[in-house]
Amino acid sequence: MKQVGLLVDVTRCIGCNKCVDACVMANHLGAEHHIPQQEADGLSAQRWLAIVDAPQGGFVRKSCRHCLDAACVSVCPVGAMHKSPEGIVLYDKQKCMGCRYCLMACPFGIPRYEWDSPTPVVGKCFFCYQRLSEGQEPACVEACPQQALTFGERSELLNLAHARLRQSPDKYLPKVFGEFELGGSALMYISNVPLDFLNFNGTLGERPYPELTWDWLSKVPAVTLVTAGLMTGLFWIIGRRMQAQLAGKTQTSQPPEEGK
Amino acid sequence: MNNTLRTWIKDGLWAVAFAGLVAAVIRFASGLGAATGLTDATPWGVWIAFKLCFVALAGGGFTLAAVVYIFHIESLRPLLRRAILIATLGYSSFVVSLIFDLGLPWHMYRIVNWQDRSVMFEIAWCVILYLTVLILEFSPTVLEHPWLQHPILQKIAHWLHQLTLPLVITGIVLSTLHQSSLGSLFLIMRHRVNPLWYSPWLPSLFFTSAISAGMMALVVEGFIMERWFKRGMRFELLTLLGKWVPLPLGLYLILRLSDLFLRGVLPGALDGSWQSILFLAEIFIGGVLPLILLGIKKVRESRKGLLTSAVLILAGIVSQRMSLSMFTMYQAEGTHYFPSLSETAIALAIPAAAILVYLFFAENLALLGAEIPAPTDISTLDDPAAFAKQDTPGRAIFARRSGLAIFVVALALPLMFHPPANCNSQPTDPATLTKALEILPPSLLSSPASCNDRAATPVTPAKGWDVLTINGNNANYTVRFTHQDHQVFLTKELGSEEAACQTCHHLNKPGDQATACSACHTDYYQPQSIFDHTIHETTLGGNTSCTKCHSSVEHLPLTSVICQNCHTGMVPQAGQTAFNMFAPSYLDAMHGSCLACHIQEAQKQNKPELALCTTCHPNGQSQPNQTTANLPKP
Ligand code: SF4
Ligand code: SF4
Ligand code: SF4
């Protein structure tokens, strides 16, 4: 399957929040539910999409990026966060055990938790996977009156984005946000205002986050074998030496051979 | 230590455990939000930090197993059983704590799915397997008990003895793996962890520091057990641990500092922030100083010297783990986390219970020496008569602990249980609320979600006619507002009844007249939207309707036309304009319309009581002679 994507054109967004409403309706997220644990950006376990005001003006969509190599997917111990064949990061509440590692690891602070429930689940955008499988576009894309959101194959969206940048270079910052950051993401932005506040500030680098852990985890099998081998070997060698020593002590006439 | 003191200490531990039990009930009944201080911005807290420490203190288990079985250093064998027990309890604490921490612990079995890229998956498996190994390693000690001399049990004990070596090697491998992996949990949180604590070498740091902490935990435990049981210290062995601990500890310090140096972060340690001071204290007081102390033979071989060094090392390592995972982690992001009371209670109850279990085993098994003490044996150590009277397991002690339980539960329940904060204002249709947020001024949006400060408080409309009873926030500090009198007075002052009404009734909702205050000022403390965007949009023709109200493509309240362009009857008061903006909170609105006039009339009519809070709020919380003039101007 081809990697899908969603392109956000920040210059087109008028902040009408219709996408948010559509997301709420399509995914039955229910009435807004304020809890003390939630953040001011508007995202919560019941709100997977928010339009936030950029500090330099303008309205910017905040939601899951669907990272190509997603931190949340890599850390989830039970595979509740997983990738669909289309490269969409899905969440399976039947598997989640609620460790909140995904909340800790997501470099963009996207997944949110149902703090007020005794059976809490994680909430985040899943690109309306059920609508996609019915051949529809994501609800937010369909609802946008300004065509600020474009859904499609990621490579095509990248072409589209670059075409728009070429067409009106003075309208946009010369960059597709999300093309390379942390290995790239399915949600991408072209914008006239800097998106530093969405952690697109260059400090995260282009190396996918999961590789930070993989550096260690890839060594685990080797460490296992080496430790096991070393311990068995040491046990045997030292044991033999000590026996030899004991033998040497009892038979003083025959000193133990050195170096064995 | 005498027996009374022992009983009191045990009582204390039980009390903490009982408090934890209360908190546990709250935790599972009402969810993590009600029981903890965790939030979306700070999803891990003190439980995780403590877990890291439990496992560090348990590091003595695999260290001693390696020393005794693999390196054949038989002289340390007498410490082995204790090390294994401490490790078992440390890991059990880890697992128990995890059950509280997980939102859906009954999904834990899902780790059967293979997830080789998840550190937590690896840790979970290592912990489960290692705990099993530990229990198997420890069970021969339990099976020595005179009550368990059944032939089948003895056969099991015999098999387990045969299995010792494979068990030990498995245990060492598992420990090595997950002690290191515990550190690598934080590798992927580069954006959260403070740079002074972050390191790509966290796995090695956690491994070396766990060995050091495990060894030093044994030293401290030795001292405590000696005071408790008057024996079991084996000082010469503890000195041996003190002699060798500089090896892992030194390695840990060298690794930690050289990594920081190589990555150029070390200068950050000198910037004078509290984090840098904590870091320096960790390195020097909790690392270098005990290293030097233990290097001196005379210090190492003195009781005080050894104990001091051990405590310092433990403090240093505990601080490293707690700082990494808690103290300094969120500060870097400007978020704040503080554990709640029930969260702390659970965090402390787990080690308290572990200590009680330890004492139980130490009292009943041959932990401290080779011989098996009869349960009554302990009592002969100190004043036996007193001990028998006060600490005999039996009815007396049961009654004592039950009393304690009732006391603690009665105390803890009201302290810990808060009915879930209800931050919802009137049931609003989601679309309207989104709109409300859109229309709120940025200052309100940038403050943490409105509910962080104060729960939303729906306003109850005033009741009555000539005299209105205003009980706006339903807190029964009612204001009796003499509506009729105000009307008469204002009519006299302003010359017309219409002008009098308009003084307060400044906006009419479409199709209404003299709309009541509570119709727009719907929340007691917070500004609320008075404009339903969706209804307007739908009525005007959906997506094509934007430009009917918004002059520019910029879709802001400010770019839209004012309400009375269409709703001509909306504004009765001269000079008033109705924007599709938010209405101030009820409290601000009431004070805003009453105060100025009251202060003015107090002077004009020379009736100072008119400006007193108590004039309107006779049963309120105001000071008797507090005047309205001191109130913040709306
Ligand atoms: S943005 Fe966060 S939650 Fe979304 S895929 Fe990336 S890591 Fe996962
Ligand atoms: S909270 Fe759930 S989805 Fe997130 S990492 Fe843990 S188990 Fe996976
Ligand atoms: S793609 Fe679907 S789930 Fe994601 S923000 Fe849009 S509407 Fe919501």
DSSP string, A11-64: GG-----HHHHHHHHHTT--S----TTS-TTS-BTTB-EEEEE-TTSSEEEEE-
When pLDDT is averaged across residues B432-455 and rounded to a whole number, the result is: 40
The answer to whether residue B567 scores a pLDDT higher than 60 is yes
Residue A5 has phi, psi (to 5 degrees) of -160, 175
pLDDT, residue B621, reads 57
Amino acid at B328: T
Residue A162 above 60 pLDDT? yes
Q: What is the pLDDT of residues B457-475, one digit of tens each?
A: 788 888 777 888 888 777 7
Q: How many angstroms separate the CA atoms of A161 and A189, rounded?
A: 8
CA of A154 to the centre of ligand 1 (A): 16
Q: Which residue has the higher pLDDT, B51 or B417?
A: B51
Candidate of A8, A23, A43 to mutate for ligand 3, largest count of ligand atoms within 8 Å of Cβ: A23
Comparison of pLDDT for B71 and B556, the residue scoring more: B71
Supply the pLDDT for residue B476.
Answer: 66
The H or E element containing residue B582 is: strand B582-583
Q: Which residue has the higher pLDDT, B591 or B103?
A: B103
Say whether A80 and B110 touch across the interface (CB within 8 A): yes
**Residue A171 shares a structural domain with residue A196:** yes
Contact A104 B111 (CB under 8 A): no
Residue B103 · residue A113 · CB < 8 Å:
yes
Question: Measuring from atom 2 of ligand 2, which residue has the nearest CA?
Answer: A96
| Residue A260 included in any domain | no
Beta strand segments in B518-558, E: 528-529
Contacts of B426 (CB under 8 A, 6+ apart): B458, B522
My answer on whether A21 and A58 are in the same domain is yes
Residue B306 has pLDDT above 90, yes or no: yes
Instruction: Enter the pTM of the model.
Output: 0.76
Q: What is the model's pLDDT at position B558?
A: 65
- Mean pLDDT highest for which of A34-38, B270-274, B438-442, B509-513? B270-274
- The domain that contains A88 carries what CATH number? 3.30.70.20
Least confident piece of the model among A84-93, B20-29, B179-188, B425-434: B425-434
B427: pLDDT strictly greater than 50: no
- Contact list in B for residue A114 (CB cut-off 8 A) is 31, 103
Q: Do the domain assignments include residue A144?
A: yes
pLDDT at B624 > cutoff 80 = no
pLDDT value of residue B371: 41
**Count of other CB atoms within 10 angstroms of residue B254:** 11
3-state secondary structure of B343: helix
Contact A208, A233 (CB under 8 A): no
Q: How much is the pLDDT for B479?
A: 83
Task: Identify all chain B residues contacting A209, using CB atoms and an 8 Å cutoff.
Answer: 188, 190
d(CA B83, CA B60): 5
User: What's the average model confidence in pLDDT over B425-440?
Assistant: 41
B631 φ/ψ angles, rounded to the nearest 5 degrees: -70, 150
* Mean pLDDT of all residues in B589-604: 82
Pick the residue with more confidence: B165 or B573?
B165
Query: Which of A17, A38, A74 is facing B449, going by the closest CB pair?
Result: A38
Residue B423 pLDDT exceeds 50: no
Helices B274-283 and B303-322 pack at an angle, to 10 degrees, of: 140
**pLDDT score, position B603:** 84
Report CB contact under 8 Å: A44, B40. yes
Q: Tell me the ligand closest to A102's alpha carbon.
A: 2
Q: Is residue A26 part of a domain?
A: yes
pLDDT at position B541 is 77
d(CA B220, CA B312): 11
Domain count of the fold of chain A: 2
Q: Is residue A214 part of a domain?
A: no
The torsion angles phi and psi of A52, rounded to 5 degrees, stand at -110, 155
Q: Residue A62 C-alpha to ligand 3 middle, in angstroms?
A: 11
pLDDT at res. B581 = 65
- Name the residue facing B191 among A20, A107, A239 (closest C-beta): A107
- pLDDT of B552 reads 65
* Residues A125 and A243 occupy one common structural domain: no
Q: Where in chain B is the domain with CATH 3.90.10?
A: 433-530+581-630
User: Could you tell me what percent of chain B has a pLDDT over 70?
Assistant: 84
Chain A environment of B448 (Cβ under 8 Å)? 39-40
Say which CATH topology domain B433-530+581-630 has: Cytochrome C3 (3.90.10)
pLDDT given for residue B576 in this prediction:
75
- Please spell the DSSP secondary structure of chain A, one letter per residue: -PPEEEEEEGGG-----HHHHHHHHHTT--S----TTS-TTS-BTTB-EEEEE-TTSSEEEEE---BTT-HHHHH-TTS-EEE-TTS-EEE-TTT-----HHHHH-TT---EE-TT-SS--EE---TTHHHHHTTPPPHHHHH-TT--EEEEEHHHHHHHHHHHHHH-TTTS-S--BTSSGGG-BSEEEE-SS--GGGT-SSTT-SS-THHHHHHHHTTHHHHHHHHHHHHHHHHHHHHHHHHHHHHHHH-TTSPPPTT-
* Ligand lying nearest the CA atom of residue A19: 3
Q: Which listed ligand is nearest to A71 at the C-alpha?
A: 1
Specify whether A131 is located in the same domain as A155.
yes
Whether B442 shows a pLDDT value over 70: the answer reads no
pLDDT, residue A2, reads 87
**Ligand 1 center to A73 CA (angstroms):** 8
Q: Kindly state whether residues A118 and A233 are assigned to the same domain.
A: no
* CA distance linking residue B313 with residue B288, whole number of Å: 9
- pLDDT at residue number B517: 87
Q: Is A259 inside any structural domain?
A: no
Q: Which residue of B has its CA nearest to A228?
A: B173
Q: Give the C-alpha distances (Å, rounded to integers) separating B447 from A168, B34, B340, B346, B425.
A: 37, 22, 22, 31, 18
Same domain, A34 and A112: yes
- pLDDT over 80 (residue A256): no
> B21-25, B127-131, B522-526, B527-531: lowest mean pLDDT where?
B527-531
Q: Which domain holds residue A129?
A: 4-209
Mean pLDDT of A101-124: 93
Verify that A87 and A188 share a domain, yes or no.
yes
Residue A80 falls inside a structural domain? yes
Range from A58-67, B267-276, B488-497, B585-594 carrying the lowest mean pLDDT: B585-594
A98 touches ligand 2 (CB under 6 Å): yes
pLDDT digits (tens, 9 = 90+) for A202-230: 778 888 999 999 988 999 999 999 999 99
Contacts of B427 in chain A (CB under 8 A): 31
Say if A77 falls within a structural domain.
yes
Task: For residues B106-124, give the mean pLDDT.
Answer: 89
Q: What percentage of chain B reaches a pLDDT higher than 90? A: 38
How does residue B444 score in pLDDT terms, banded at 50, 70 and 90?
A: very low
ipTM for the predicted complex: 0.89
Mutate to test the pocket of ligand 3, among A18, A48, A66, A86 (most ligand atoms within 8 A of CB): A48
Mutational pocket test of ligand 3: of A65, A88, A127, the residue with most ligand atoms within 8 Å of the beta carbon:
A127
Portions of chain B given CATH number 1.20.1630.10: 3-373+384-416
Q: Is the pLDDT of residue B15 over 70?
A: yes
pLDDT of residue B157: 87
* Statement to judge: residues A227 and A138 lie in one domain: no
Burial class (CB in 10 A: 0-12, 13-18, 19+), B494: middle
H helix count then E strand count, chain B = 27, 4
Provide the 10 A C-beta neighbour count for residue A199. Answer: 18
Quick check: CB of A76 below 6 Å from ligand 2? yes
Question: Quick one: average pLDDT of B610-617?
Answer: 80
| Shared-domain flag, residues A110 and A233 | no
Better-predicted residue by pLDDT, B584 or B214:
B214
Second CATH level (architecture) for the domain B3-373+384-416: Up-down Bundle (1.20)
Enter the DSSP assignment of B118: -
At residue B196, the 3 state secondary structure works out as coil
Q: Is A21 in contact with B431 (Cβ distance < 8 A)?
A: yes
pLDDT the model gives residue B230: 76
Partner-chain residue, chosen from B31, B122, B423, that has the shortest CB–CB distance to A34: B423
Q: Is A157 within the bounds of a domain?
A: yes
Does residue B385 have a pLDDT over 80?
A: no
Q: What pLDDT does residue A4 have? A: 94
Q: How confident is the model at residue A259 (pLDDT cuts 50, 70, 90)?
A: very low
Contacts with B165 from chain A: Cβ below 8 Å: 235
Where is pLDDT greater, at B579 or A96? A96
**What average pLDDT does the segment A183-208 reach?**
89
Mean pLDDT of A147-163: 94
Average pLDDT over residues A176-199: 92
Identify residue B270 by its one-letter amino acid code: L
